[in-house]
Structure 1
Amino acid sequence: MIGLDWRGLMQAGLHGLRLTPDQFWALTPAELQIMLGLTQTSPPMGRDRLAELQTAFPDVDKENLDG
């Protein structure tokens, strides 16, 4: 897994884009990438990957849980 350069991202967001801290932390990584003009670093999720995630993390009906 690749780590994020938080210092660089914060500097670009707070100083380069002149965002307030609240505005910066409210952004998603994708929104920040778009605002900075960066290209997408990973391909969009395909159906197979979505199916894997749905199997690994199924939706839970909290109203019908026993216990």
Structure 2
Amino acid sequence: MSGEAPAFPWEAVLHAGLCRMRLPASDFWAMTPRELGFALGLLRPSAGTPGRAGLTALMRAFPDKKE
């Protein structure tokens, strides 16, 4: 039928999230489509990656261990 949108590729998405990425089902179903797209590399941040100064600032703001 012309003019209809293609069906959502559930099999491919489930395989990518649960098998290839090995996400727990609860994490997979909690993701938004945008988050899944970024995780699969289908989407890219428009601002690019932070430089060294930006990374250092983020590491100070969000340390792995609280002091």
TM-score of Structure 1 vs Structure 2, range by shorter chain: 0.5 to 0.7
Sequence identity, in percent?
Answer: 40
1:21 counterpart = 2:25:
yes
Of 5, 9, 25, 1:5 maps to: 9
Q: TM-score, normalised by structure 2?
A: 0.54
Report the counterpart of residue 32 of structure 1 in structure 2. Answer: 36
After superposition, where does 1:35-50 map in structure 2 within 5 Å?
Answer: 35-39=39-43
CA RMSD, aligned part only? 1.5
| Aligned length in residues | 40
**Local SS of the residue matching 2:39:** helix
Structure 2: which 5+ residue stretches go unaligned?
45-67
Q: Which has the higher helix share?
A: 1
Q: TM-score, normalised by structure 1?
A: 0.54
Deviations for 1:25-64, whole angstroms, at most 9, x for unmatched residues?
A: 0000000000000037xxxxxxxxxxxxxxxxxxxxxxxx
Q: Which runs of 4+ in 1 moved over 6 A?
A: none
Structure 1: which 5+ residue stretches go unaligned?
41-67
